[in-house]
Each structure stands twice: as structure tokens, then as C-alpha cells.
Amino acid sequence: MSKCCGNINEDAFKPDDPCNPPSHGCTGTNANTNNTADCPVTWFGNMIQNCYDYATDAKSKGKHIVGIMCEYTPRELIMAAGGIPVCLCGGSAEMIPPAEEYLPANLCPLIKSTYGYHVKKANPFLEMSELIVAETTCDGKKKMYELMSLTRNVHVLELPQKPDDEDAMSHWVSQLRDLKAKLEELFNIEITDEKIRQAIRTMNKERQLRRELAELMKSESPALTGRQLLDYKSIISGICADFQQYSKAIDMYKSKKIQSSETSPVRVLLTGVPVVHGAERVLDIIESSNGLVVAMDNCTGLKPILEDVDENADDPIVALAQKYFNLPCSVMTKNDRRMEVLRQMAQDYKPDCIIELIWQACITYDVESYLVKKLAEDELGIPYLRIETDYSPSDSARIGLRVEALFETVRERSTCK
Amino acid sequence: MICAGIDAGSRTIKVVLIDTESKRIIAKDIIDQGIEQSTLALELFENTLSKSGLKKQDVSFVVATGYGRNAIDFADTTITEITCHGVGVHHLVPDAMTIIDIGGQDSKLLRLDENGKVRDFVMNDRCAAGTGRFLEIVAQRLNVELDSIGKMAAKSKSPSPISSMCVVFAETEITGLLACGASRDDIAAGVQASIATRIAGMAGRRVMAPIVFTGGVALVPEMDNALKSALGHEITISPDPQTTGAFGAAILAARKLNGEHK
């Protein structure tokens, strides 16, 4: 299954292969695909449209669109149920005022933006969704889903929050079994272990490709920027055409000759909240101030692709539960694993500093930032900067000032060594 | 040779000219900020030069700083006010370990290492509470000059509690206090205490003495005492605190000229 994406021949796919999209992608029958197929930059620059075409086409062929809100949700289960998992996290500042008619203003912009799309019915993927799989990763989201469920079909996964408790994993496994039952009932389909394993193989392939791209940033002078890397992702997983483009991108950057610039950029490890599509402002400020985001440990960066799922486990649900439960989200207490991941990333990606992005009113990341700062300064010995903001650009100049001053500090330090 | 530092702040623009070798100040001046800040800065620069009998060609290197630094097109380079205040204070008060800079729209707290280099810093977010703008609004509301706030505060026996973390709400709070008959002296003292408390909160446990107070708000009488009681440390006011940032920029200009840094 996993090799399907290296193959352009349509006949090579089985109809039920989750890596075989209903019409375009690998098939090359779509004119749009042909035009952009040779350039991964253009392809992913058109990501939302690609996903829209893909989802519309899939829906017309009887497939089910399922919205997801969090990286804890195993896309594999949805794919095994013949569904298309679509990430619905909102990144638009414009969607916040409509949300504030219902939600408190002092809530994280990601929640408000997502909810704004809901009330304005402005996210076509949400409108296409037959089910929304939500999760209890923070109180704000949890309560927002209650309001959303007044008019939409929402299934909430209850995430245990003490990862080291004995019964935590068994509870999480039972939550995934409930989701499986829900999907089977709703779509009137049997989710066999083999179907799950097939989806696991597809997702492992996707994670492997994205990981390989991200690891290019380990280079002393990487061929791409952090922003370019961030754009290499899709709100729908398992699109075969995406896989081809990931491979092309990897080849393209591996063969690219790097010209060394006069002043090498300051290498930044960006941590904290997810940088969802449309809300990349802080990353752009960092990179326009001659910084280079070499790694992001967040949900839109390396966190969800660090580990794969065991393809040969006796019980694939348990295998899924184990992988996903291992995500170091700040909702966990204690969240020691995040510090382990950051330590490892500091070693692998050699950042000069850590910048932590916190969406306003994101209490868990905000409080945990104390520990990240301590890790950066006391243990890793690199400067740390915390940026708390929302989606509105009004504080861009002030953020720019902090980033510039941080970089001046970093450069000053390096001249002293 | 002469080097210049220009600090285009939110309320005023400052210029400092120094002798590159001795780092001695040759001239300095301040004007109010306005819409056309690049023109204003150029006028200030030229006037300061002509008062000292100098021409633009006499200045070898210009560093611009402050929030408007990128609008100063005659500058050779820009450096953030965080680095400039660090350098300026370190030059004037070499043993300083912590700097509190309160300007028109920003308040910042910098920690220096033993070599006077910036170790880390924090600054206020979007809100103007804890900045000079807050004091201006309060002075307006109390119908007094900004300079009087400090004198009034000194007379207070029981400063009014002002707890709001937002300037707009704090103004509402002050209206309420006035309605309840609180004296203007107590309110003035309460406002200063509230700014100092915010700075202390921002500082967390990162304050190490000696602490140097810089920026325009350091000129407001009694602010240093308010900070002293909030932080529990003696506060030294930087010599001519309003131009410390521009002075730091001028020193950095001299260093750039001498090729001390990239």
C-alpha cells in the first residue's frame, strides 16, 4: 500500500485503498493536477483548494467527511470507516467577532475562530462533515463543543490527563473503541482490523514523508525556510497526490545548492501552540527578522509525526491508542515528555534560542511556559522568548521588536564566545 | 570623529551626538513625536548639529532605535531599544544588573549579565497600563499637569487601590474613586503604585540589584519610590533617563564604526 504513491499508474490501486483518492491525485486525469504536478511549492500553495476538490469529489462518490479538531484524534479509524478526516481548526481573525457573540472574548483565538466558522457556516469542510470528532484537550474547547453539538453531530473523545496513571491507557483505548462503534453505526460499515492496519500504513507513510522533510532543517544551512516547511502539510491526510509532492519536495531540496549568506540566520526552535493555516504571522515575523525556524515541536510541526503506529500489532486499536496517547500536549499533567522532546530537538536541530508562542488565554501552555523557559535557560543554556498574542495583527511591530532584540542578544552572545 | 544615536520613541524623539573615541556627549536634544516622524527626526538631527557648529558630513555613523527606528532613513543601521538601553545604562552605571525602562507606550525590564550584555528581557503586551501613557491619561482625568502627579502622590497618606490591568478600565476605576470622594493625591499615589506593581509582576523573581530606572517616566517624581516599595530594592535613576536609549545607540554607532561588531 505504502508504495502506491510512487506509482502514477491508476490501475495499481485497489478501490478501497485509502491512499487511492476517488478521482484525482495519482491518476493524472485532472487538468489542474497536471499543471502543478511538477512543482510541490505550487501544489501545497494551493492546498486548501486541492483539499476542497478532493473532499467534494469524495463526498459525491459516497465517502464520508469527518471533521477533526486535534492531533489526538486517530485519523486511521476514520479512514478505516471509509471517511475522510479533515482538520477544522480555525486560523482566521475575521471569524472571531461572530464567535464572540456566543463565546467569552477572553478565550483562545483558535477556539473562537473555529467557532466563528461554525456560526457563519463559512468553512466548507465543516459544512460537508457528517461527524465532528472532538476531544477534551482544554476546557475552552470542551465547552465550545457543547455549543457546537446543539446543531451538529459531535463525538467527544475523553482524554485522560494523567499519562502515568495505570488506568489512563485502558481508558483511552476504550474511548477509541467507542469512536470505532460510533463510526460503524453512523456509516453502517464494519471496521475490520485489516482496514485499520491499511490506514495505519498510509498514515505512517505520510508521517515518514513529512518527517523526512522536517529533518532537512537539521542542516547547517537548510534549503528551505520554516515557513516553507510549515506549508508542506495538508488539512486532509492520506491524499495520494500529496504524497507524491512530498517526495518531490524532498528530492528537490536535497539536490538544491545552498548559497551561504553573509550573516547566517538565527536558528529558532518554535514551541507552544499550533500555528494553524492562516495564523502564521509570528513565524513570518521571526523569519523576516533574519531568523530561521529550524524546528517546531507543536501540533502543526513535529509533535504528531515523531512516532509511527505499529503496523503489525495484534490489536490495532491498542497500537493507535499507544501512539496518540504519547503526544506531549500541555493538557497532560505532568507533561514531562514535552521537555524530553524539546531536549532532543535542541540536540538535533541546534537552535540558538527558543521562542514560545502562546495564544491568548491558552492557560495550559501559558502556565507550562515557566518550565520551558527554565529548560531553555538553565539546562540548554540558550535564550528564551515568550510571545503571547492572538490572530489580530495589531501587535506585530511589538512582537517584531522582541524578536529583533532577542536576535541581537543571541548574536552578541556568539561574538563573546 | 562623531557618532549619533536617534531614539524615535512613541512620545518624543531624542538625539545624542558623541565623540567616537572618548564617548563623551557633544550635544543632545529632544522634540515631541508627531505624524511625520522621519521629517521631525531629520530636523532635530540637523538643528542639533548646527547648534554645535557641525554638519551632517561630520557624523560618521548613525544608529536609529525606538519604535520608529525603521522610519529614520538617514540612519546607517537600526538596533532595538532593548539593546540600546542595555548599552547606555551599562556605560553610565557599569555595575547595573537590572534595567527598568518605562516609556510612553512600553515598559520593559532587562536583566544584564556581568559584562553588561542583555541576558533576557520582558515587556508589556498590548495594554498601556504600566506605561507613561497611563500617567498622561490619569493626569488629564485629574486635571493636573503630568509633572504634578509625583508631587501629589508624595502627599498621600493612603494610596487608593487601583487594581485594573487595563488603562481604559483603570480610568473607569478612577472615575469611581473620585465619585466616592477619594483625594486626588491618593489617586495619584495609587496610580503610581499600580504601575510599579505591574512592573514587579512582570519582573517575577528576575530582579537583581543594582536596579537602574530609565525612560521618560523616570523623570516623573516619586515613580522611583513607588518602584522601590514594589520591588523591595533601591532604585537608581539613570543620568538623563530620557536620552539613555539614544546615548546607547550612539555608543553602538561608535562600536560599529570601529568594527567591534559585525
Please tell me which of the candidates B67, B106, B262 has its beta carbon nearest to residue A263. Answer: B262
* B98-237 is a CATH 3.30.420.40 domain: yes
Tens of pLDDT, residue by residue over A238-297, are 999 999 999 999 999 999 877 766 779 999 999 999 999 999 999 999 999 999 999 999
pTM for the structure as a whole: 0.89
* DSSP3 helix / strand / coil % (chain B, rounded to 5): 45, 20, 35
Q: A13-198 architecture in CATH?
A: 3-Layer(aba) Sandwich (3.40)
Tell me whether residues B81 and A384 touch, CB distance under 8 A.
no
Q: How far is A367 from chain B (nearest CA, A)?
A: 14
CB A7 within 8 A of CB A243: no
Contact list, B126 vs chain A (CB under 8 Å): 394-395, 398
Angstrom distance (rounded) from CA A110 to CA A93: 9
Q: What is the pLDDT of residue B167?
A: 77
| Structure confidence at residue B7 as a pLDDT band (50, 70, 90) | very high
Instruction: Please state which CATH number belongs to domain B1-93+239-262.
Output: 3.30.420.40
Q: Where are the alpha helices (DSSP H) in A4-46?
A: 31-36, 40-45
Q: What is the pLDDT of residue A23?
A: 37
Q: What is the pLDDT of residue A37?
A: 54
Which position has the higher pLDDT, A20 or A312?
A312
Q: B1-93+239-262 and B98-237: same fold?
A: yes
Tell me whether residues A263 and B120 touch, CB distance under 8 A.
no
Grid coordinates in use for A4?
Answer: 502506491
Tell me whether residues B82 and A405 touch, CB distance under 8 A.
yes
Angstrom distance (rounded) from CA B98 to CA B82: 12
Grid coordinates in use for A350?
Answer: 541546534
The Cα diameter of chain A in Å comes to: 67
Q: Scan residues 8-67 of B and list those with Cβ closer than 8 Å to A.
A: 67
Tens of pLDDT, residue by residue over B74-115, are 999 999 999 999 999 999 999 999 999 999 888 999 999 988
Q: How far is B187 from chain A (nearest CA, A)?
A: 29
Tell me whether residues B262 and A402 touch, CB distance under 8 A.
no
| Structure confidence at residue A14 as a pLDDT band (50, 70, 90) | very low
A vs B: CB pairs below 8 A: 51
DSSP letter, residue A75: H
DSSP letter, residue B161: P
User: Locate cell 491507557: which residue?
Assistant: A169
Backbone torsion region of residue A264, taken as left when φ is above 0, otherwise alpha when ψ lies between -120 and 50, otherwise beta: beta
User: Locate cell 523557559: which residue?
Assistant: A373
Please tell me which of the candidates B67, B82, B120 has its beta carbon nearest to residue A397. Answer: B67
Tens of pLDDT, residue by residue over B188-240, are 999 999 899 888 888 877 789 999 999 999 999 999 999 999 999 999 999 99
Mean predicted confidence (pLDDT) in B157-163: 88
CA closest to A387 among chain B residues: B125
Whether pLDDT at A21 is above 80: no
Tens of pLDDT, residue by residue over B127-156, are 777 788 889 988 998 999 988 999 999 999
Tell me which of A373, A408, A413, A416 to substitute to probe the interface with B (most B C-beta atoms closer than 10 Å).
A408
Mean predicted confidence (pLDDT) in A191-216: 98
Separation of CA A16 from chain center:
25
Ranges of each domain in chain B: 1-93+239-262, 98-237
Grid coordinates in use for A288?
Answer: 523576516
CA closest to B120 among chain A residues: A383
Mean predicted confidence (pLDDT) in A138-149: 97
Among the listed ranges A57-71, A209-223, A307-321, B157-171, which one has the minimum average pLDDT value? B157-171
| Percent share of chain B, pLDDT over 90 | 77
Under 8 Å CB-to-CB from A206, ≥6 apart: which residues?
Answer: A237, A238, A242, A243, A246
Angle of CA points A356, A359, A108, to nearest 5°: 160
* Dihedral pair phi/psi, residue A337, rounded to 5°: -65, -30
Ranges of each domain in chain A: 13-198
Q: Which residues pair with A292 in a beta bridge?
A: A267
Tell me whether residues B83 and A416 touch, CB distance under 8 A.
no
